[in-house]
């Protein structure tokens, strides 16, 4: 049974691509209101784990439990969105021929309360003013950083209980990365629950409450993020110290 403050729990999760064993015996949990980071080298299996949680990749073994002890192991991706899981995917995956506003509204497709949707739309515009300025333009005309803001906004429009963020700073200019990181800090202040995969391990450990280290498809370290920042193994492998 999940404890009352747990939002997500993975137990003995395995995932394969053909004969390749990508994830092995993954056990982790995310509590309500916390930011949990997942760090690891390229090819460690981080994106596969994100896709498995959101339902875009089927696991071969193990169990996924979401809020209120809902077993979502075999629940399709669109149903997981309805339950409260939204993902900001690596690569953004926007509908580039559609307008900025239409992309945002697609994030709210499971919702019916127009007033609440409008309120959340205004929240996104307030946090990312450039999206309001360009709301009628096709999303394909946006810069990489603006597209990342749009991908985040689209996920928030589903009003998620759990926000999955996969490499939000990848390929962005430093000034835009700083803006994205600042927004994630704001999410922390409003108690949004975030599971964050981030190539910038130092930032990921600085902003998160807890973290897991993934190597070759296995979790090799976990614990309080500040303690992991001081761990010699983490310093050497991921912080360049």
**Domains, the chain, ordered by start:** 1-84+162-241 (3.40.50.300), 95-159 (no CATH)
Taking the complete model, does pTM exceed 0.85, yes or no? yes
Least trusted range by pLDDT, from 12-16, 31-35, 42-46, 227-231:
42-46
Conformation bin of residue 103: beta by default, left when phi > 0, alpha when psi is -120 to 50: alpha
pLDDT at 2 over 80: no
pLDDT at 173 (0 to 100): 87
Conformation bin of residue 167: beta by default, left when phi > 0, alpha when psi is -120 to 50: left
pLDDT in tens, 54-98: 999 999 999 999 997 999 999 999 999 999 999 998 877 898 899
pLDDT at 4 (0 to 100): 55
Average pLDDT of the chain?
92
Compute the distance between CA of residue 2 and CA of residue 24 in angstroms, rounded to an integer: 22
Compute the distance between CA of residue 225 and CA of residue 234 in angstroms, rounded to an integer: 11
pLDDT at 241 (0 to 100): 59
């Amino acid at each position: 049974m999940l404890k009352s403050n747990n939002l997500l729990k993975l137990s003995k999760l395995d995932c394969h691509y053909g004969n390749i064993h990508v994830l092995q015996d993954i056990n982790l949990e995310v509590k309500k209101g916390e930011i949990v980071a997942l760090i690891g080298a390229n090819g460690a299996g981080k994106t596969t784990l994100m896709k498995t949680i959101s339902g875009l990749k089927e696991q071969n073994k193990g169990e996924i439990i979401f809020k209120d002890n809902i077993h979502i192991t075999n629940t399709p991706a669109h149903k997981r969105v309805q339950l409260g899981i939204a993902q900001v995917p690596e690569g953004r995956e926007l509908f580039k021929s559609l307008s900025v506003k239409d992309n945002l509204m697609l994030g709210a497709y499971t919702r019916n309360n127009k007033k609440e949707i409008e309120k959340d739309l205004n929240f996104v515009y307030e946090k990312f003013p450039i999206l309001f300025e360009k709301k009628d333009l096709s999303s394909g005309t946006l810069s990489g950083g603006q597209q990342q803001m749009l991908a985040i906004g689209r996920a928030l429009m589903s009003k998620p209980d759990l926000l999955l963020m996969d490499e939000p700073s990848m390929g962005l200019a430093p000034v835009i990365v700083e803006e994205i990181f600042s927004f994630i800090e704001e999410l922390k202040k409003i108690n949004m629950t975030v599971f964050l995969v981030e190539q910038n391990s130092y930032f990921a450990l600085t902003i998160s409450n807890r973290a897991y280290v993934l190597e070759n498809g296995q979790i090799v370290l976990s614990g309080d993020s500040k303690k992991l920042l001081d761990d010699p193994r983490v310093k050497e492998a991921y912080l360049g110290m």
